[in-house]
Amino acid sequence: MQNSEVFLDIFQILILLITLTLLTKPMGGYMSRVYQGERTFLAPVFGLLEKLFYRISGITPDAEMNWKQYAFTMLIFNFIGLAVMFAILMLQGYLPLNPQKLPGFSWDLAFNTAVSFVTNTNWQNYSGESSASYFSQLMVLMVHQFLSAATGMAIVVSFIRGLARRTAETIGNFWVDLTRTVLYILLPISIIVALVLVSQGVIQNFSPYKNVQLLEAISYEKPKLDINGNPLKDASGKQLTEKIIVKEQTLPMGPVASQEAIKELGTNGGGFFNANSSHPYENPTPFTNFLEILLLLLIPAALTNTFGRMAGNTRQGWAIYTAMLLIFVLAVGALYLAEYSGNPLVQKLGVHGPNMEGKEVRFGLGGSVLFSASTTATSCGAVNNMHDSLTPLGGMVPMVLILLSEVVFGGVGSGLYTMLAFAIIAVFAAGLMIGRTPEYLGKKIEVMEMWMSVITILTSGVFVLIFVSIALLVPAGVSSMSNPGPHGLSEVLYAFASMSNNNGSAFAGLNGNTIFYNLTGSLAMLAGRFAPAVAVLAMAGSLVKKKYVPPSLGTLPTDQLPFIIWLVSVVLIVGALTFFPALALGPIVEQMIMQGGV
Amino acid sequence: MKEIKTGILLFVALSLLTGILYPAAVTVLAQAIFPKQSSGSLIYKVDGTPAGSALIGQPFSEPKYFWPRPSATAVFPYNPLASGGSNIGPTNNDLITKISDRVKSFQDTGIQGQVPADLVTASGSGLDPHISLEAALVQIPRIAKARRVPEEKVRSLVQAHFEDRQLGFLGAPRVNVLKLNLALEKL
């Protein structure tokens, strides 16, 4: 790669960060108006629909809920979604919009997929183009990309209310927060973005798959099987094959753009196709790639501003944004360097250039690296290149971003509430060191808040370590690895990190569609989503009752650089203490092997 | 329970909105405004039959065509029903053997010096329609020889199909292999 190419890659990364920062304020302001019940400019379009939804569902929009009611309705709503999704996936074969006549999912795969989409994880043990009907793609996978995103955003907003309100009881109305998120934020942006994506070549139709003639027919050897499906061998024990000539290519079709837009916007990541955003029909040009990256960062970044505004001090929001941005820039830099250096084992063979295995030419190194860092910094989990084929240290960067509990922007809603839990821990730890009562935004931090913050940030880590250990001890866990040695450990570690933290990207060589991984994964995803969610709501319920303590000389200012650096350190230290041994045995050992050329 | 009833009703209403009305509206608008792109960006031969999609790569192995990147899709390369990458890790012997074989097959066709990385590594989708400019340039002598045309002619065809970074800084410079091979057929 020439220097000018590297320069342009860096320029692309800078433009992205500048655009994101510029959008944070207007988008954050708009969202705070939506959540404070104000009239927005979209009211003429969606206002009637909003009222209609409240009327048919019997919702009184002014009736506020305490934290228990809020948590209860949130859980009920998600349980309904889970049950419906499970049923649809099992019965897909009997449902409409299935031109390819695809059969239903197996029970464990259906359960894993339903859990995965209701928890905003979008871990995919199925391959979209060959196993999900249009009906399933729309009514299961796309609906929940809206609803799980809206759930996360509702929770963070009620938590912000808990911080902002003084000596109150209620933290908002879950039904209203959910409905307004879909109608005024997710849906309008998705419609516009979907059309922009189509203009670049993302497909949007309900046609049957299309056959085209190949310019050059090709052939391959297909193993011959007997009637029972066992391989046939000749007298000397050699596998018999037959020559198959391929003259045609079958192009998959479908309503891709509409799903693509919400897939990024809601940090969902569940692709229409198996190859996700590396597929040319999901991500056809460098421009769509840039747009998709921007879109998956947009809401998590802008929510920091919404937080600042609703808490009455936008500097508090920018402090959180800056902390996130600092870790993000470090990660992008490390990942770019690792991939730019390439793979010495391959370079020795007479190949020159960066590591291109698993990457697409049109995105280049900059577009691939930026996507990988963004999709794992947020809990999106879409991929535009295959993380399993990154260099060892390159692959460790996305893994670490996930293992830090998805707080570098993080998932829509969940990223900010987890980061705020870290902020509370940081305030508490600092308070211990300087001998003051810890306060955050004028609210005293006490035993209840500490308990709930610890549950919020440690649940996923505990599940990662327990499940990885189990997977390494049982044959059902080990047999799914596709790569030998330390890389196999990385695959399993990445899988449980991704599921527990509701990311959904994968070192995709791991065969996740087994009963073992489907069930342990479902448990990890459920715990990683709902334990923190309920803990955060409980914390909101405790905070909202407290009275405001005006800042005094002894108060640690949480909107200034020293606190930002302290917060970043706390995030990194907690992550390192929890996962360093596992990382040392996986990616770090593999990097040494690669450099040593063993 | 009132909450359960409310939950079910709101779930149905939101599902109809986001699962049916939204994709239907986007489909109608997309088909009306961007009929070609929304239906797969097909390209056609002179006789009007579809030659493939401008966005989806095709396999080529004859010396007279530009070769695309290796594809790891299941059963046969560039199978759009099984999109995906190799998922082979960087220190896996499998990867080293495969790349070593590919480098040899290029050296057998007379390529001197180093081989561009994209030409011997599998893409993420297995359907990558592009190769780098460098990867196209190193193949010119083979193609010119197989087609018995001057190298200059092939080179100018490559230049004509060169796509630079979008807006000058997005993505990477590239060449579409299928489009280039269709143009070769017209030489």
ipTM of the complex: 0.96
- Which residue in chain B has the smallest CA separation from A358? B124
- Which residue in chain B has the smallest CA separation from A204? B38
Q: Is B165 on the interface with A (CB under 8 A)?
A: yes
Residue A330 lies in a domain: no
Decide which of A271, A291, A311 is a domain's last residue: A291
- Model pLDDT for residues A142-166, shown as the tens digit of each residue: 999 999 999 999 999 999 999 999 9
- CA–CA dist A424, A422 (Å, integer): 5
Residue A543 lies in a domain: yes
Burial letters A487-499, b for 16+ CB under 10 A, else e: bbbbbbbbbbbbb
Nearest to A425 by CA among A406, A445, A408: A445
Q: In whole angstroms, how far apart are CA A89 and each of A80, A141, A276, B133?
A: 14, 10, 20, 44
| A159 and A240 within one domain | no
What is the helix (H) or strand (E) element at residue A115, kind and residue range?
A: helix A107-118
First to last CA, chain A: 26
Looking at beta carbons, which residues of chain A come within 8 Å of B60? 215-216
| B176 and B146 within one domain | yes
| A469 and A419 within one domain | yes
Supply the DSSP string of B32-88, one letter for each residue.
Answer: HH-HHHHTT-EEE-TTS-EEEETTS-----STTS--------SSSTT-GGG------
Q: Do A362 and B174 touch (CB under 8 A)?
A: yes
Q: Do A363 and B172 touch (CB under 8 A)?
A: yes
Closest in A58, A280, A351 to B55, CB measured: A280
Looking at beta carbons, which residues of chain A come within 8 Å of B164? none
| Sign of the CA dihedral running A63, A64, A67, A73 | positive
| B163 and B87 within one domain | yes
Residue found by looking up tokens 């020159």 in the block = A352
Give SS3 for B169.
coil
| B135 and B82 within one domain | yes
| B81 and B14 within one domain | no
Query: Residue A515 is encoded by which pair of tokens?
Result: 């009963």
Phi, psi of B166 (to 5 degrees): -70, 135
Nearest to A301 by CA among A15, A10, A18, A12: A18
Q: Do A201 and B37 touch (CB under 8 A)?
A: yes
| A100 and A243 within one domain | no
| B96 and B18 within one domain | no
Q: Is A260 on the interface with B (CB under 8 A)?
A: no
Q: Do A8 and B116 touch (CB under 8 A)?
A: no
Closest in A53, A257, A278 to B124, CB measured: A278
Q: Is A147 on the interface with B (CB under 8 A)?
A: yes
Looking at beta carbons, which residues of chain B come within 8 Å of A82? none
Q: Tell me the nearest-neighbour CA distance from A199 into chain B, angstroms.
A: 6
Q: Which of residues 9-38 of B touch A (CB under 8 A)?
A: 9-11, 13-15, 17-20, 22-23, 25-27, 29-31, 33-34, 37-38
Q: Do B33 and A199 touch (CB under 8 A)?
A: yes
Residue A323 lies in a domain: no
**Structural domain harbouring B10:** 2-36
Q: Do A290 and B30 touch (CB under 8 A)?
A: no
| A124 and A217 within one domain | no
| A61 and A179 within one domain | yes
Residue A227 lies in a domain: yes
Q: Do B86 and A284 touch (CB under 8 A)?
A: no
To test the contact with chain A by mutation, choose from B12, B29, B38, B61 the residue with the greatest count of A C-beta atoms within 10 A, namely B38
| Neighbouring residues of A395: CB distance < 8 A, sequence distance ≥ 6 | A387, A388, A490, A494, A507, A587
Q: Is A274 on the interface with B (CB under 8 A)?
A: yes
Give SS3 for B159.
helix
| A166 and A98 within one domain | yes
| A146 and A51 within one domain | yes
Residue found by looking up tokens 């011997």 in the block = B120
CB-CB contact of B81 with A252 (8 Å): yes
- Model pLDDT for residues A566-596, shown as the tens digit of each residue: 999 999 999 988 999 999 999 999 999 998 8
To test the contact with chain B by mutation, choose from A117, A146, A249, A288 the residue with the greatest count of B C-beta atoms within 10 A, namely A249
- CA–CA dist A186, A195 (Å, integer): 15
Q: Tell me the nearest-neighbour CA distance from B177 into chain A, angstroms.
A: 11
Residues of chain B with pLDDT under 70: none
- Continuous H helices in A411-514: 414-434, 447-473, 475-478, 486-500
Residue A5 lies in a domain: no
Q: Do A205 and B7 touch (CB under 8 A)?
A: no
Q: Do A356 and B118 touch (CB under 8 A)?
A: yes
Q: Tell me the nearest-neighbour CA distance from B135 into chain A, angstroms.
A: 11
Q: Which of residues 56-115 of B touch A (CB under 8 A)?
A: 56-62, 65, 69, 75-92, 95-96, 99-100, 103, 107, 113-115
Say what the pLDDT of residue A434 is.
82
Q: How many residues does chain A have?
A: 598
Q: How many residues does chain B have?
A: 187
Q: Tell me the nearest-neighbour CA distance from B150 into chain A, angstroms.
A: 23
Residue A267 lies in a domain: yes
| A571 and A534 within one domain | yes
Nearest to A491 by CA among A501, A483, A500, A479: A483
Nearest to A174 by CA among A52, A49, A72: A72
**Structural domain harbouring A199:** 24-203+256-291
- CA–CA dist A392, A394 (Å, integer): 5
Q: Which of residues 330-349 of A touch B (CB under 8 A)?
A: 342-343, 345-346, 349
Our CA dihedral for A328, A330, A331, A337, rounded to 10 degrees, sits at: 140
Q: Which of residues 507-536 of A touch B (CB under 8 A)?
A: 507-509
Say what the pLDDT of residue B8 is.
97
CB-CB contact of A490 with A587 (8 Å): yes
Q: Do A345 and B127 touch (CB under 8 A)?
A: no
| B92 and B64 within one domain | yes
| B94 and B180 within one domain | yes
Q: Tell me the nearest-neighbour CA distance from B182 into chain A, angstroms.
A: 8
What DSSP state is assigned to residue A35? H
Domain count, chain A: 3
- CA–CA dist B58, A30 (Å, integer): 46
Residue A141 lies in a domain: yes
Nearest to B53 by CA among A361, A287, A210: A210
Q: Tell me the nearest-neighbour CA distance from A260 into chain B, angstroms.
A: 11
Q: Tell me the nearest-neighbour CA distance from A215 into chain B, angstroms.
A: 7
- CA–CA dist B91, A388 (Å, integer): 11
| A232 and A131 within one domain | no
Domain count, chain B: 2
pLDDT tens track, chain A, 598 positions:
678 899 999 999 999 999 999 999 999 999 999 999 999 999 998 999 999 999 999 999 999 999 999 999 999 999 999 999 999 999 999 999 888 889 999 999 999 999 999 999 999 998 877 888 999 999 888 999 999 999 999 999 999 999 999 999 999 999 999 999 999 999 999 999 999 999 999 999 999 999 999 999 999 888 777 777 777 777 777 778 888 999 999 999 999 999 999 999 999 999 999 999 999 999 999 999 999 999 999 999 999 999 999 999 999 999 999 999 999 999 999 999 999 999 999 999 999 889 999 999 999 999 999 999 999 999 999 999 999 999 999 999 999 999 999 999 999 999 999 999 999 999 999 998 888 789 999 999 999 999 999 999 999 999 999 999 999 999 999 999 988 889 999 999 999 999 999 999 999 889 989 999 999 999 999 999 999 999 999 999 999 999 999 988 888 899 999 999 999 999 999 998 899 999 999 999 999 999 886 5
Q: In whole angstroms, how far apart are CA A336 and each of A292, A394, A422, B124?
A: 19, 8, 28, 17
- CA–CA dist A360, A23 (Å, integer): 28
CB-CB contact of A407 with A415 (8 Å): yes
Residue A344 lies in a domain: no
| A446 and A564 within one domain | yes
| A457 and A558 within one domain | yes
| A92 and A198 within one domain | yes
Q: Tell me the nearest-neighbour CA distance from B84 into chain A, angstroms.
A: 5
| B87 and B74 within one domain | yes
Nearest to B91 by CA among A235, A489, A307: A489
To test the contact with chain B by mutation, choose from A153, A195, A351 the residue with the greatest count of B C-beta atoms within 10 A, namely A351
Q: Is B131 on the interface with A (CB under 8 A)?
A: yes
| B124 and B93 within one domain | yes
| B138 and B87 within one domain | yes
| B130 and B91 within one domain | yes
CB-count exposure of residue A250 (10 Å: 0-12, 13-18, 19+): middle
Q: In whole angstroms, how far apart are CA A217 and each of A244, B61, B98, B180?
A: 10, 9, 23, 17
| B98 and B9 within one domain | no
In chain A, what percentage of residues exceed pLDDT 70? 99
- Which residue in chain A has the smallest CA separation from B78? A249
Say what the pLDDT of residue A111 is.
96
Residue found by looking up tokens 């065809």 in the block = B157
Q: Do A143 and B13 touch (CB under 8 A)?
A: no
